[in-house]
A and B are shown apart, each in its own frame.
Chain A
Amino acid sequence: MGMFGLQASGAAASWMVGRMGTDAHLYDDPEDAALPALLDSRFDGDKVDALKRLLALIAQGVDVAHLFPQVVKNVAAQSLEVKKLVYLYLLHYAEKRQNEALLSINIFQKDLSDINPLVRAWALRTMAGIRLHVVAPLVLVAVKKCARDPSPYVRKCAAYALCKLYDLLPEENTTLEEVVDVLLGDSSSGVVGAAAVAFNSVCPNGLTLIAKHFRKLCETLPDIEEWYQITLIEILLRYVIARHGLVKESAIFASNLSWEIQGAKDSVPVDNMSCIQAETVVNGVCGTFSSMTLLRHYIDEYSECFDGEGGKIRSPSVTTSTNEDVAILLKCTSPLLWSQNSGVILAAASVHWIMAPVQEVKIIVGPILFTLRSSPDATYVMLGNILVFAKTAPLLFAPYYEDFFICASDPYQTRALKLAIITTIATESSILAILEEFQDYIKDPNRRFVADTVAAIALCAEKLTSVTSTCLEGLLALVFYESSIANSVHLDGEDVVLVQAILSIKAIVKIDAASHEKVIIRLVRTLDVIKEPAARSLIIWIFGEYSSTGNLIPRIAPAVLKYLAWSFAAEVLETKLQILNTCAKVIIHAAEEHLQEFKRIVAYVIQLAACDLNYDVRDRARFLSGLLPFCANENDSSCRSQNADVCKELADHIFDGKIHSASNSDSNYRIYLPGSLSQVVLHAAPGYAPLPKPQSMVLIHKTMESTRGVANSSDSNNSDAESGSSANESGSLYDSESESGDLSDRDGTGSKQYSNDDGHNLHLQDGNQEAPLVNMYDGSVGQAHAGQVDENLASLISTDLTELMSKSALESWLDEAPTTPLVQNSIQASCARVSFTTRSFERKPKLHVLLDPSNSNGLSVLYAFSSEVSPNSRLLVCIDLFVENVTPDQLADISIKSEEASTSEHGMETSEGSASIPTPVQMEEIQSLAPQQTAKRVLQVHFHHHILPMKLSIFCNGKRHPAKLHPDIAYFVRPLPMDLNAFLCKENQLRGMFEYARRCTFKDHLQNPEHTEESVDNTDKNLLVAQSLASKLLSNANVHLVSMDMPVTFSIDDASGLCWRFCSEVLSSSNPCLITVVAEGHASGPLDLTIKVNCEDTVFGLNLLNRVVAIIE
């Protein structure tokens, strides 16, 4: 369309003259100028030039971060162009140069109140985009302000800033959610669209938020921008499902039920698989997800829908299409099927696909087929989605099979997909046209595609019995034809079609071999012509498999077998092996009349094979002669009589094994929601979320209503109908984090209950090696690991037993499995808050002297409190002892005993009687210690909260040395991982009499200035202070660092506001013990700290507080 194209661009071209950039010289020689000088220039033109060069360098992968300070200065420039370019630079490097980036914050703050909305929006976008945790709180303030900006452009930027903020401040989600709520109610459709995107990032599961906006969102849907339409459609769909459930009349739901009635997992024809059910069941069964957590969550979610009664969906989770919200959703999405954007069409189509009544689903077909006419790459994506639709509901697309006919211009990927679709939707009425079309494909120059077509023919023939014989004839003709070509032309990969043709015949014949015996015979006859080893092997296999089938094949069997014996020596390895197998099969199934003849031939073949050059062949021969003794050695009758039966049976099993239908690939076929990237790459990409559990939302509404007092008439109607799971449960289904939180809570409470009394019992049992009970524990542990402990099962077993089981499970888990993920979680949470907690703090425990060598003839004993938790009991504190021999002589028989309590072997037993005396558990004796040698031992002591020194006797070479061990209350606790929210929540509960505070000063950071000096440029002083205090406390107390908050200030020195939070759990009572440290003053001088301990055990809390002060000072 030459003439038209020219005119189309003509009008625009007139004002585009001069638009063509001339920046190429900057791109090609970016370092052609003195960049720092230009950046410091007074002229905006120079600055722009320099900034453009910097951009060019960034584009080319050169690191120009060193110019950061000079660039940042220019953020204050008046010129919008300079500003914009600086912003682009900032966005790229801010993360690496955090401290300098902070310098720009003031300017951003100023720009946020600029009169030009463009400036306000850019400032907000950049500020949120530089991803600095320290700035995040400021951005939050800015976002809240900008969400109410008069300019929709700025409000839109605020919505995007929410997404960025959520990455930085996930713990602020409630605040963020409120802003999302505000934006969703915005009057501008552009803002609403962006708000939908923000919703998806910030609170994708907070579908309750949608409830009040639902109608309005539906009405706005056609007006908002296409990209947002996709997001919003998905949200609305999820909302309606969560709120009202699936539609009873929908295609999905209908096929779901029918599928469930069919039952067995393997025998399901692919065609009947439906999208949703495939997600829930097929994936659940095969479990090849890359992300196991997702899978577990997935199954959890659906296990409730598919409950005991034959896996049928519980009826309450279903609604009808007459439901008002469902109807509105369908109505507002149907015009979008006319969108230009194929993403929108697919999103709208999937709503109808999932929610529309069966008879109305077909409106999506036309628009979907139309999208195939867009770009070739989009076609590929659309075809992938169509394949899923077609596999679920082949009849939907069956009339349009011509649309999937292949053009010469289609790339291979597209062709393969089209073939798959055609095969899926072929029906008795269309198959003839399709086969005719396939005949053209077979002449295609692309051999791989021809082979695919041949495979597709077999699939059609298997499915539609009316064409089976036609297909077989065609395939046989193809075999003859291809074999003649293959013999004359020798090109690489030429045999792929031939092999595939035989494979296809094999697949068709398999269904009913007896009726196709003539085909088999004709195929076997081609052995004379076909030379391709792979093809020969296949035919030989087919012959072996069906040698006794039908009437005709057995008659030709002797001749074929003779032929094979004759050709054996000339065959290649794989064919030889196949001949040997076939011999075995023939002889097993041989009729009496031929048996003697067969035996002779087979014996001959085996003899040949036994002398073969290849050891695999010889091996096979030996194996067969063992298995079929009558063939190999006819003289050895004794062997025959004894083992014949066994051998016969073995041979039957080996060679007569029924072929397992290889439909694994089908059941492994993973299906994701239409339109998702995951569906294209067949891989659950992060952020992929399955549909919510049907009607899971109602109860959340209930709680919302009760707490917030929001009255919604239609809500209450529905919530009445719902019964069953508790609000807590349905809430957790939405949010994996909250779920794991729940779990940990449960564990926590469990441990609290059992630790005091039952802990002792358990340890006793451990000590006595009570075998039966241990077995019980194992069982329960295994079960619990497999998923949630089955409550039904638990209730069946007598209460006593379940109690034991759960106790044991908890006890054995507490130190292993569950804690690890929890620790990880909390680290993630804290590092999200303050990035530098990722630097793991080294715990450098302090060594104390227990025994000075000068007092003890050269035996030195040092001790340090260990953060390890005793494997025996949670009440024991572990102390690492470092025993060193500083004498030149050997020391022997070193042991340690408590002076006060008579330490017994059983440790805990005696402690029952004398509860208040610190008692060490008997420690392993050191038999002998060579000179200069050090031995490490772990002493476990039950301190009973005694903080007075514990008197110990150390025996060495038969001599007693008295020693004192100073208990450290900071180790009477153990780390209790929790996230900041949980911490703050707990802190609120432990106010008043449970709270103690003291002030002290911290000077440690001033003592090692040489350490600070070297990195003063790059590292924040506050950061150093924060680190030094945190590591000091972590080295001296067994606590968990929950968070470190850095102050946001413009004075680098100002450390006021630095705040650390630590959390621990008292060993004896399992009561949480929270430590908060807040700093005041300057990082360069001594800091005033306020230390606060919140703990239910008041005395312990006070003591701990004093100890913490002592540690810090």
Chain B
Amino acid sequence: MAGAVSALFLLDIKGRVLVWRDYRGDVTALQAERFFTKLLDKEGDAEVHSPVVHDGAGVSYTFIQHNNVFLLTASRQNCNAASILLFLHRLVDVFKHYFEELEEESLRDNFVVVYELLDEMMDFGYPQYTEATILSEFIKTDAYRMEVTQRPPMAVTNAVSWRSEGIRYKKNEVFLDVVESVNILVNSNGQIVRSDIIGALKMRTFLSGMPECKLGLNDRVLLEAQGRATKGKAIDLDDIKFHQCVRLTRFENDRTISFVPPDGAFDLMTYRLTTQVKPLIWVEAQVEKHSRSRIEITVKARSQYKERSTGTNVEIEVPVPYDATNPNIRTSMGSASYAPERDAMVWKIKSFPGGKEYMCRAEFSLPSITSEEATPEKKAPIRVKFEIPYFTVSGIQVRYLKVIEKSGYQALPWVRYITMAGEYELRLI
């Protein structure tokens, strides 16, 4: 049974209450603050904590951290933990929509709006409206507050709760970004133990009226159902998640993605492909200990995508011993520096064309006290970040994006593709 949240707190990095909203009157700010500061003191680092804690006195706390702000709910009832966490993330999204970034300062600057939002997003501890676009229809900031007569959002009275009627744009445009992130895990033997692709169709709509959109992808199931030839172009979407606007029953019946889009930016769908992919950037490192006091690391990075694509903002993080000093680093491309706070060397390459291989050599001094063989062999993986524009690993393609509105305007769809690294770890060191 989904219970309700008793109160919601926005706390600073030390766990002190900045703003709070009491929904049910059974948990006090003092109580929550005391518990949470104690929790922070005890563990030092909120990272090591599970996001849901029980205080032993009947109150469960659920929290997330965003910048220097903790968002915390206290509850005496049995809630749906997953959905509360999600609600907190939505709260962050809404705050970001309202004041661009959520941090302690922006909360202070906008605390009145925060109160209003908290009042509207949750009632009696149950989540309500969490779509920023809907909320901004009736919770205005100062500049707009006095001008408009306030009405409940039209959306509430519509069949679709995420879009209001009467939206007008001079130029009707839709932007669709297909963003794929590659997660890969390579073990110390060089085998890929796990790889998947998480893709997101991020949409920004600037459309008038109540448009009906229909999206066509090179989805194998759909193409085969339509009896079209699938010459290796089709892809299998394993797991899919849709925005609420997509008609799920319709998709279940005939794999058509049809929807009335919300206004502005939203994630239309996310998908996951578990097909194994070749690591787009392969990194190997060799460590040589020349004497008791000197360590030499050679890193080789190779791009394994087609030459016409170019990786950008490549960042390779190679772990080095925690007691290394005196870095001496040379690279064949880009720049590398020692990041002692991460116990790593970070090698950055602005532009990395396909089919190329670059090298980086680094030398560090080690304290000579420890005997060579006894140094515990503890290893963090090599981590890689990159972006490859105009390219998708999965081969997904937007075949069409139709926009139909009763006024009959022509909408321009813009589609772009990008691939980036997600959890990209190679334990090759």
Contacts and interface: CB of A to CB of B under 8 A. Distances in A.
Interface of A: 1-4, 7-9, 11-13, 16, 18-24, 26-28, 52, 55-56, 59-61, 80-81, 84-85, 87-88, 91-92, 95, 116-118, 121, 125, 129, 131, 151-154, 156-157, 160, 163-164, 188-190, 197, 200-201, 204, 222-223, 225-227, 230-231, 234, 334-336, 338-347, 366-367, 369-371, 373-375, 377-378, 380-382, 385, 402-403, 405, 407-409, 411-413, 433, 436-437, 439-440, 443-445, 484-485, 488-489, 672, 675-681, 683-689
Task: Name A's interface SS.
Answer: helix
Contact of A444 (B62, B193, B378): B378
A696 B283 CA distance: 62
Interface string B171-187: 00001010100010101
Most chain A CB neighbours (cut-off 10 Å) among B1, B99, B240, B247: B1
12 contacts: A20-B100, A20-B106, A23-B108, A23-B111, A160-B124, A190-B156, A335-B249, A335-B252, A381-B82, A676-B1, A677-B3, A685-B75
Given A61-B29, A677-B80, A685-B76, A443 B50 contact: no
B381 A402 contact: no
A285 to B, nearest CB: 23
Contacts of A21: 99, 106, 109-113, 141-142
Contacts of B358: none
A208 B115 CA distance: 39
A1079 to B, nearest CB: 31
Nearest to B131: A225
A152 to B, nearest CB: 5
Contact of A381 (B51, B75, B116): B51
Given A381-B52, A407-B185, A436-B189, A59 B98 contact: no
A443 B83 contact: no
Interface in B150-169: 150-153, 156-157, 159, 161
B2 A377 contact: no
Interface in B393-429: 416, 418, 420, 423, 425, 427
Contact of B156 (A1, A61, A153, A412): A153
Interface string B266-306: 01001010000000000000000000000000000000000
Contacts of A344: 83
A163 B2 contact: no
Nearest to B422: A373
B29 to A, nearest CB: 6
A335 B126 contact: no
Contact of A402 (B58, B79, B194): B194
A676 B204 contact: no
B251 A335 contact: yes
B1 A56 contact: no
B4 to A, nearest CB: 8
Contacts of A84: 116
Interface stretch (B14-22, B324-332, B333-341): B14-22
A138 to B, nearest CB: 18
B35 interface: no
Contacts of A151: 152, 156-157
Given A19-B141, A343-B80, A8 B241 contact: no
A288 B242 CA distance: 41
A59 B17 contact: yes
A1030 B113 CA distance: 47
Task: Name B's interface SS.
Answer: mixed
Contacts of B214: none
Contact of B86 (A12, A204, A378, A444): A378
A918 B188 CA distance: 97
A151 B155 CA distance: 12
Interface in B359-418: 370-371, 374, 376-381, 383, 387, 389, 416, 418
A190 B161 contact: yes
A406 to B, nearest CB: 9
B349 interface: no
A440 B187 contact: yes
A234 B50 CA distance: 25
Contacts of A378: 82, 85-86, 89
A191 to B, nearest CB: 9
B119 interface: yes
Nearest to B205: A11
A265 B313 CA distance: 59
Nearest to B203: A8
B387 to A, nearest CB: 6
A489 B82 contact: no
Contacts, number: 339
A200 B126 CA distance: 11
B25 A95 contact: yes
B123 A160 contact: yes
B242 A339 contact: yes
B215 interface: no
Nearest to A20: B99
Given A8-B265, A21-B112, A366-B239, 4 more contacts: A56-B111, A59-B111, A61-B30, A484-B374
A232 to B, nearest CB: 10
Contacts of B179: 1, 4
Given A234-B2, A677-B75, A8 B204 contact: yes
A681 B53 contact: yes
Contacts of B272: 366, 369-370, 373
Contact of B80 (A129, A190, A347, A485): A347
B194 A116 contact: no
A55 B111 contact: yes
Contacts of A27: 108-109, 111
Contacts of A375: 64, 85, 89
Given A375-B64, A443-B377, A1 B420 contact: yes
A304 B383 CA distance: 57
Given A11-B206, A20-B100, A222 B187 contact: no
B127 interface: yes
Given A8-B265, A343-B80, A687-B3, A156 B420 contact: no
B68 interface: no
A444 B179 CA distance: 32
Interface string B89-124: 100000001111000011011111101100100011
Contacts of A485: 374, 376
A370 B418 CA distance: 21
B3 A24 contact: no
A4 B416 CA distance: 10
A971 B77 CA distance: 43
A227 B100 CA distance: 25
Nearest to A157: B123
A117 B79 contact: no
Contacts of B77: 677, 685-687
Given A152-B157, A190-B156, A381 B425 contact: no
A332 to B, nearest CB: 8
A200 B52 contact: no
A116 B189 contact: no
A367 B204 CA distance: 25
Contacts of B248: 222, 335-336, 338
Given A21-B110, A340-B270, A485-B376, A685 B60 contact: yes
A190 B77 CA distance: 24
B80 A338 contact: no
A53 to B, nearest CB: 10
A59 B126 contact: no
A230 B418 contact: no
B198 interface: yes
Contacts of A339: 241-242, 244
B202 interface: yes
B86 A1 contact: no
B323 interface: no
Contacts of A24: 105, 108-109
A227 to B, nearest CB: 4
A1009 B87 CA distance: 54
Shortest beta-carbon contacts, A-B, top 3: A343-B83, A335-B248, A377-B51
